Structure 1
Amino acid sequence: MPLDRSPQRHRPRTAGAPAPAPDPAADPAPARDHAPAPAPAPAGAAPAVLHLADTGAADPPAVLTVHGCWYPSADPTGDRVAFICDRAGVPQLWSGPANGSEAHVLDADPDPVTEVSWSPDGRWIAYTSAPGGGEHTRVLVVRPDGTGRHVLAGAEPGASAHIGSWSRDGSVLGVTVAQPAGPGAHSSPGHMPQDTDPGFADGALPDGAYAAARTGRVGQATLLLPPGHPAAAPAAHMNGTPVRPPEAAPAAADGALSAYLIDPDGTHAPALLHTEPGAASLRVCDIAADNRFVLLRRGPRGRREALLLDRATGRIPFRLHVADGDPWIGRLSPDSSTLWLRSDADREFAALLRVRLAEDGTAEEVSAAAERDGSQLDLLSLPDHGRWALLAWNAHGASDLESVGLDGAGDAVGPHHRSELPHEVVTRIAPVARGGLFAALSGSRRRPGIWQADGPFGPVRTGWTAPDEEAAPPGRPPVRPVPLRCRARDGLVLGGWYYRAPDRDPGRPGPCVVHLHGGPEEQERPVFNPLYHEILGRGIDVFAPDVRGSSGWGRSFVDADLGTGRFAAIEDVADCAAYLVAEGHADPLRLAVMGRSYGGYLTMASLVWHPELFRTGVAVCGMSDLTTFFAGTEPWIARSAAAKYGHPEHDRELLRALSPMSRIDRLRAPVLAVHGEHDTNVPPTESEQFVRAARAQGVPAELLTLRNEGHDFLRADTRRLYRRAAADWLEQYLVPDRTGRRAT
């Protein structure tokens, strides 16, 4: 049967499967009440401002689904909070009172919102949205009453933009813009131009690239800054070239990442801070009170750097390796004498570092201000006054939230105060200058919500956050997972969370799916996952492990899958399955594997490396061939991914050997592939070619393409369709007696 490439949603063709419910998102998108996108800007032009129709203080839309709230940002008084909510079925920008229950939507467009930031002067709310649900994003601002809404950056076709930090007075916003790539941008293998990455002398992975590269580092690692390399020179240079003052800064180039300061009122023209051709990432993380210094985060995965830009000279007086994960890596003290950073430089776990700065921005001393053995600092947030900081620590997946006092100008860390959390994981912290905070929490038995903590009684749920009892339909309470630890064949200890289907004797093995997260640097955490809830309801257990390459277990664990170590990561999946069987959790004849993004890649790889182990698999937005992935993904994603997987030209043999398509002839288990039609991170062709090759060999394979979705599925209707299709597929092959179908 030929592969259906049309951008429609497809149910898996399983005999006897129930017909899908009507899908509202399948209807044509409603007309929008705003101007069309502008024509492409000339190369090097500043971001275009696009004015939109006012939303106003709209009434809440009808509740289409049990909702979640996340990503809070408080106004200067702490009386109101802007946040993201999917109450109408898609993540949108909302605002609500701290001590009330009536929230309202500020942007009713159907474009998913991903980030939010209220200006320090209270006049504007900035946010990032993804038009069409794809990977290209744009930055908008709106007034708290819903008026004045306009696009600051990312409106040009092919461009993408992300919010950065506000200036302390709220007059300008830092914005990163990925300029549209010009003609020929995809001509080199994997969009990897030469002489663009400071970690590589000639665009190639040098000899020993997978050897230890940092002092005190244990285990495998990517090369960061080799001794004597131009990029390792004092901060006056970037890529071996002096960084020029703002008035002489180069114009933003095609395919570059560029950081601007943009006036949301439009009174002043955007100011270009820094542009970097071939950059993998760039984010404005803080702007000094006097606007002289700007803290930037740049670099590919595993090699992120904090850069302190001196706008007076155009030079970089300080740089330091910082941790992956949350992009908001640090802040400057009010007098710029101290820089606080979340970094894992020369250590296994990210900690709070104190950098004492001279007047010219050079570092006089770098020391650890707060650190924990075996626990990484996940989130760091400081109010503008700099008198205290909020820290969220990661202890094997769960969070520990504390505040620490910063003495005077930030010379010492004062008393610690821990907050008791009602749920397991903190995903965002929004401090209030006068004291207190808003925290986005998630847990194994609740949907994401926002809680306020400004007194001695601990966090209190905001009135517009859904209560815990609404997490799941009546009669089907969420399952609390239990932590499991197993040992890989080479002795490495792997962690994970096990969810047992309700109403089954714990001593009786049952059907089980090994679910693999993305990244690979993501971490499995004990948060409510509707997909798991759907699978558990079909009588199937879920084990969600952290194979090597995952975060949360130390830097050496993250780096353990680099280069040829990725073969061991594939073996980790089989070792997890063997452990489940040996411990009596899983029936060896009813095992499945499933994952999204990098987890989708691992799913395909596990099915062809261990063809007799799994009965079936569900691969979601996975890479089936690392060479074609590099050729089709976004240029900046390719540059970042090369640090993890290998260079698409110089390591082509390694990438070929690691690609599931290179062993497709060994595939035996039926497979369902799922992909978003607008995914430019992992192009849909990765799933298409795997399904086509499987069918050519007579292996049952289906493709479910989700309309109006990108790499992340953000709309309630398509997420529901995806969950039910995946659970139907797994049930067909793992629990045939429940479905009336016989597994083949």
Structure 2
Amino acid sequence: MAADARYPLTEAGPAPAAGFVAPGGAGAPRVPWPGADAGAPAAHHAPEAIPLADASAPHGVPAEGVHGCWYPSVDPGGRRVAFVCDRTGVPQLWTGPVDGEEAHLLDAGPHPVIEVSWSPDGHWIAYTTAPGGGELARVLCVRPDGTGRHLLAGGEPGTSALLGCWQHDGSAVAVTVTDPAPPHSAHAGPPEPEQPYPPGVAHRDGRAVLLDGTASRSPSGRSLESDAESVQEPEPRTLSAYLVDPEGAAAPVLLASERGASTLRVCDLSRDGRFALLYRGPRGRREALVVRTRDRVVTCALPVADGDPWIGGFSPDAGTLWLRSDGGRERAALVAARLDPRGRLLGTTVVAQRPDCDLELLALGRDARRAALVWNARGVSELELVGLTAAGAPGSGPDTTASAGAPSATAPASAGPARTVALPHEVVTRVAPTADPDAPVVALSGSRRLPGVWWLPHGLPLRTPWSSRDEDVQLAGRTPVRPLPMSPVARDGLTLGGWYYRAPGRPPGEPAPCVLHLHGGPEEQERPVLEPLYLELLGRGLDVFAPDVRGSSGHGRSFVDADLGAGRFDAINDVADCAAHAIMRGLADPRRLAVMGRSYGGYLVMASLVWHPDLFRTGVAVCGMSDFATFFAGTEPWIAQSAAHKYGHPDRDRDLLRALSPMSRIEALRVPFLAVHGEHDTNVPPGESEQFVRAARERGLEAELLLLRHEGHDFRRADNRRLFRRTAADWMERHLSDRGREGA
């Protein structure tokens, strides 16, 4: 069919390349999947199986020290869980019973596991790994007994794959794949020498030139990328979503494809197979798309909230779409979208909301008639279980939100009375429904425990035996600290948030050496969870203040957007205002302050050191941006799209970005500086840290760079995380000690 001029997800011709090469090597014609003939429709050919060596370990592998367990997915019977665990030092795929001790390691390979999904028929477990710890991922499948492990998508160097949902009968799983990075364009300069990256590891050369693209339009006519042009590479990569048969008996089926997309994930499929629910768009402008599977036409698009990508699903008859959305709202809520038989939007109804909380997680039950709602109440999770009534079901009144001219349903969608489930710890990171709608499995974190998996049969919280015990959290004699909530007020009157951790044994009223730690995003949020880095700093006698400056999530849409464009200067001032708040409360010693942060927080560290040069004694920036010009030139294109919305366009807002770049004020830097970066980070390339350290040294300042091997933007290996924590804590302790204070 011809491409829809309003929307890029329908394309003429055969399916685009899906991250594989045809037999015959790199010079062979590109085809959608292995086993397909060049030029032939993909649907006529089954893929060739790519088996992998058995990597399961003997049953009953014991825990080796303290470990975390997270990202659970439950089998059809509701009694066994597939999950990610780092008990061997690397996040790997495990399974275990909800009420038994014996855990099984299904993939003992060296590549960190990111996501896990057990098929509805119980035959397969699909999971995502990050080869070499980098940013490009691949999707694999394995039998629950550890046999039959094979690659599904993301096997070709330079490609990446993302795990989507399963078909409800378990016959296929959705994956999103990227085509390989385009070759160097004529204006990009000569390629740099080959780097010794392992096969499949992501890397970029920092020479991408970001240009304006044409903003695509939704069925409603509004711009999907933004009102301005989107930021793309000269040859933007394509994201394509497929349904893949894990048995290898049928060819992949193309569901959607978008050129220059920032993200594209299949979140649900209607039970009759007619519609797919897709999550797409850059941060701050996420959308849910309903796509008709037979011809890949987008039937409607609705705004959804940032954060967790699993944003909802269809009712059993596909007449209602349940979504976690903040469209036109200050706070994310549960929204029911009523669809006609062709998948077109008839109207929306807000069925569950709170005036001062965001709906953070939405997990539909397996029959889509129940849901688990996780609310973010000032950083602490509150879990509710509710019944769902789809549009058209009896027992409700008229729908007052139907579109103009649309027929009115006699029974709008609704949510029944909520049952609150008590939690033993503060934060829910994932909910995995089971066959019993009143017995979900949840991943929990807290200020006094490592991440673990809990079973909640009828409200009774039971820790899975293979998760760490609460008392195991005392790492190397470090005692966990329950933080105090803080509400600093910025100089322009905006109320901020955050948590203050007091070092054990500190007498009340004694000002302490204090490290301000700034989270990434900018849309992340500080939560009262155990952070081993904080535990290390507290064990050295250093307080930690972890604030939410403007731009953080959890405080409403206006707060998230308060740092856009020139508002970034106010966010930099927020850091100084948070330090002043801790000083005025008598908690922090004004002569022994340090600042630390990762990703966007790393940028804020560098910015704070050059905008407020007399405030901090030292700074540690982890994977931070030091110059927006070089950042935009080197980051991934989908990262650039979101970054342009948050920080400014690299062409139109060049002067603003230059003014916001810490490198533009490097002459103001006066204190020692430590940078930490993953060698395979392609979100924020390591050159961002290197150039700031180099410039600091040229000014005669003490400056060091710790480059972590086999890591990307997130540090996943236990040995590297320990090295990072100890190096940062040693640095802070040395520069904030009384001896350093006397010599200041």
TM-score by length of 1: 0.86
> Which residue does 2:351 correspond to in 1?
369
How do 1:205-604 and structure 2 match up within 5 A? 229=222, 255-407=237-389, 411-435=413-437, 436-456=439-459, 458-473=460-475, 475-604=477-606
Question: 1:500: Cα distance to partner?
Answer: 0.4
Q: Distance in 1 between matches of 2:743 and 2:276?
A: 60
Question: 1:630: Cα distance to partner?
Answer: 0.9
Contact 2:518 2:597 in 1 (8 A): yes
Question: 1:39: Cα distance to partner?
Answer: 5.5
> Which residue does 2:625 correspond to in 1?
623
- 2:727 match: secondary structure: helix
> Residues 342 and 300 from structure 1, CA distance in 2 versus in 1: closer, same or farther, beyond 3 angstroms?
same
> Residues 678 and 408 from structure 1, CA distance in 2 versus in 1: closer, same or farther, beyond 3 angstroms?
closer
Question: 1:261: Cα distance to partner?
Answer: 0.9
> Residues 454 and 481 from structure 1, CA distance in 2 versus in 1: closer, same or farther, beyond 3 angstroms?
same
Q: Distance in 2 between matches of 1:666 and 1:254?
A: 38
Q: Distance in 2 between matches of 1:60 and 1:134?
A: 30
> Which residue does 1:113 correspond to in 2?
113
> Residues 196 and 159 from structure 1, CA distance in 2 versus in 1: closer, same or farther, beyond 3 angstroms?
farther
Q: Distance in 2 between matches of 1:163 and 1:227?
A: 29
> Residues 453 and 186 from structure 1, CA distance in 2 versus in 1: closer, same or farther, beyond 3 angstroms?
farther
> Residues 542 and 43 from structure 1, CA distance in 2 versus in 1: closer, same or farther, beyond 3 angstroms?
farther
Contact 1:61 1:88 in 2 (8 A): no
Contact 1:190 1:631 in 2 (8 A): yes
> Which residue does 2:32 correspond to in 1?
45
Question: 1:528: Cα distance to partner?
Answer: 0.2
> Residues 521 and 565 from structure 1, CA distance in 2 versus in 1: closer, same or farther, beyond 3 angstroms?
same
> Residues 269 and 310 from structure 1, CA distance in 2 versus in 1: closer, same or farther, beyond 3 angstroms?
same
Moved more, 612-621 or 426-435: 426-435
> Residues 438 and 447 from structure 1, CA distance in 2 versus in 1: closer, same or farther, beyond 3 angstroms?
same
Partner amino acid, structure 1, of 2:452: G
> Residues 190 and 572 from structure 1, CA distance in 2 versus in 1: closer, same or farther, beyond 3 angstroms?
farther
Question: 1:183: Cα distance to partner?
Answer: 1.4
- 2:455 match: secondary structure: strand
Contact 2:236 2:637 in 1 (8 A): no
> Residues 507 and 741 from structure 1, CA distance in 2 versus in 1: closer, same or farther, beyond 3 angstroms?
closer
> Which residue does 2:14 correspond to in 1?
none
Contact 1:298 1:306 in 2 (8 A): yes
Deviations 1:444-465 (A, max 9, x none): 0000000001225x21101111
Contact 1:516 1:545 in 2 (8 A): yes
Moved more, 440-449 or 629-638: 629-638
Contact 1:352 1:370 in 2 (8 A): yes
Deviations 1:456-515 (A, max 9, x none): 5x2110111111000123743201001000100111000000000111112010100100
Q: Distance in 2 between matches of 1:743 and 1:323?
A: 50
Contact 2:225 2:281 in 1 (8 A): no
Question: 1:226: Cα distance to partner?
Answer: 12
- 1:485 match: secondary structure: coil
Contact 1:164 1:173 in 2 (8 A): yes
Q: Distance in 2 between matches of 1:492 and 1:165?
A: 40
**Unmatched 5+ stretches in structure 1:** 1-36, 200-224, 234-238, 241-252
Q: Distance in 2 between matches of 1:680 and 1:273?
A: 28
Question: 1:194: Cα distance to partner?
Answer: 3.6
- 1:356 match: secondary structure: strand
Question: 1:313: Cα distance to partner?
Answer: 3.8
Q: Distance in 2 between matches of 1:110 and 1:287?
A: 33
Partner amino acid, structure 2, of 1:335: D
Contact 1:369 1:413 in 2 (8 A): yes
Q: Distance in 2 between matches of 1:597 and 1:42?
A: 39
Partner amino acid, structure 2, of 1:302: G
TM-score by length of 2: 0.86
> Which residue does 1:27 correspond to in 2?
none
Question: 1:408: Cα distance to partner?
Answer: 6.1
- 2:458 match: secondary structure: coil
- 1:567 match: secondary structure: helix
Deviations 1:678-713 (A, max 9, x none): 111111111000000000001110011111111111
Contact 1:94 1:103 in 2 (8 A): yes
- 1:144 match: secondary structure: coil
> Residues 687 and 268 from structure 1, CA distance in 2 versus in 1: closer, same or farther, beyond 3 angstroms?
same
> Which residue does 2:403 correspond to in 1?
none
Deviations 1:390-426 (A, max 9, x none): 0000001100001001136673211211100000000
Question: 1:651: Cα distance to partner?
Answer: 1.5
Q: Greater relative contact order: 1 or 2 (C-alpha under 8 angstroms, separation 6 or more)? A: 1
Contact 2:51 2:151 in 1 (8 A): yes
**Unmatched 5+ stretches in structure 2:** 1-22, 35-46, 189-206, 394-412
Q: Distance in 2 between matches of 1:538 and 1:38?
A: 58
> Which residue does 1:692 correspond to in 2?
694
Contact 1:57 1:145 in 2 (8 A): no
Aligned residue pairs, count: 663
- 1:422 match: secondary structure: coil
Q: Distance in 1 between matches of 2:186 and 2:134?
A: 20
> Residues 187 and 600 from structure 1, CA distance in 2 versus in 1: closer, same or farther, beyond 3 angstroms?
farther
Identity %: 63
Partner amino acid, structure 1, of 2:101: S
Q: Distance in 1 between matches of 2:262 and 2:458?
A: 42
Q: Distance in 1 between matches of 2:109 and 2:249?
A: 27
Contact 1:127 1:139 in 2 (8 A): yes
Deviations 1:611-661 (A, max 9, x none): 111000000000001110111111221122211111212221111111100
Q: Distance in 1 between matches of 2:421 and 2:220?
A: 44
- 1:93 match: secondary structure: strand
Question: 1:256: Cα distance to partner?
Answer: 1.0
Deviations 1:578-637 (A, max 9, x none): 111111111111000000000000000000111111000000000001110111111221
Partner amino acid, structure 2, of 1:84: V
Contact 1:39 1:157 in 2 (8 A): no
Deviations 1:38-58 (A, max 9, x none): 965855523775320123453
Partner amino acid, structure 2, of 1:616: T
Partner amino acid, structure 2, of 1:588: P
Deviations 1:41-88 (A, max 9, x none): 855523775320123453355644410100000001101100000000
> Residues 684 and 717 from structure 1, CA distance in 2 versus in 1: closer, same or farther, beyond 3 angstroms?
same
> Which residue does 1:29 correspond to in 2?
none
Q: Distance in 2 between matches of 1:694 and 1:656?
A: 18
Partner amino acid, structure 2, of 1:495: G
- 1:318 match: secondary structure: strand
Partner amino acid, structure 1, of 2:33: A
Q: Distance in 2 between matches of 1:474 and 1:301?
A: 39
Deviations 1:143-176 (A, max 9, x none): 1000111111111101111100111111111111
- 2:605 match: secondary structure: helix
Q: Distance in 1 between matches of 2:574 and 2:458?
A: 45
Deviations 1:287-345 (A, max 9, x none): 11011100001111100011000123432111111100000001001110110000000
The alignment's C-alpha RMSD in Å is 2.3
Structure 1 position 713 matched with structure 2 position 715: yes
Contact 1:179 1:255 in 2 (8 A): yes
Deviations 1:533-552 (A, max 9, x none): 00001111000000000000
> Which residue does 1:152 correspond to in 2?
152
> Which residue does 1:183 correspond to in 2?
183
Contact 1:694 1:700 in 2 (8 A): yes
Partner amino acid, structure 2, of 1:577: A
- 1:51 match: secondary structure: coil
Structure 1 position 90 matched with structure 2 position 56: no
Contact 2:536 2:726 in 1 (8 A): yes
> Which residue does 1:99 correspond to in 2?
99
